[in-house]
A = this chain, B = another copy of it.
Amino acid sequence: MDNYNLLQENIRKRIEVTDDEMSYFIFLLQQKKYTRKQIILREGEISHSFTFIVSGCIKSYLIDKKGEEHILTIAPSDWWITDINSFVSGTPGNLFMEAIEPTTTLLLSREKQELLLAKLPKFEKYFRILTEKAFAVSQQRIIDYMSLTALERLEKFAASYPSAIHSLTQQQIASYIGVTPSFFSRMIKGKNIF
């Protein structure tokens, strides 16, 4: 049951729920464990679920037509992740998802989410708040892309993911902030960011 504590707190921070309601939500979840580098979702597959990270870390990324990987999301524990495009449209997505370390998750499938929302509409609010937050973060990322240099984006990244910065490789961080590994290496030379 321990695995559910983090999620329960996450929910109770946003909405008020009774123990019964919480139990019903938890009943709908499926626990999944992944090993380091295990691929969770491939390009072309439909993202059928929201994934809550209990422990570990998951990245979502796309491979462009030159074969380059670009990390879109880095989701540490206490975060939800999905390919939102695929999830909302129900069509095949263009993202991969991969565990970057051993990871335990709780899966809420689209169907189960619909059951949940039909039975306990107050969870609409929970998901609305989550999505608003995710949208806000995403908008900020666009702003940062448009108005900051690579080094400034790195500094922001380091500030917002203080722990991730040690568990991720430089390649991964470079990919997230949108530069090549070799430029990244040059960029941080001198600056004592690590």
Contacts and interface: CB of A to CB of B under 8 A. Distances in A.
Given A122-B121, A136-B88, A138-B135, A72 B143 contact: yes
A139 interface: yes
Contacts of A88: 129, 132-133, 136
A124 interface: yes
A64 interface: yes
Contacts of A128: 124, 127-128, 131
A85 B121 contact: no
Given A84-B132, A121-B122, A139 B72 contact: yes
29 contacts: A62-B143, A62-B146, A64-B147, A64-B148, A70-B146, A72-B139, A72-B142, A72-B143, A72-B146, A84-B139, A87-B132, A89-B136, A94-B143, A117-B125, A121-B121, A121-B122, A124-B125, A128-B128, A131-B132, A131-B135, A135-B138, A138-B138, A138-B139, A141-B142, A142-B142, A142-B145, A145-B145, A145-B178, A146-B178
Given A124-B125, A142-B142, 12 more contacts: A62-B146, A65-B147, A70-B147, A84-B136, A85-B136, A87-B132, A88-B136, A135-B138, A138-B139, A141-B142, A145-B145, A146-B178
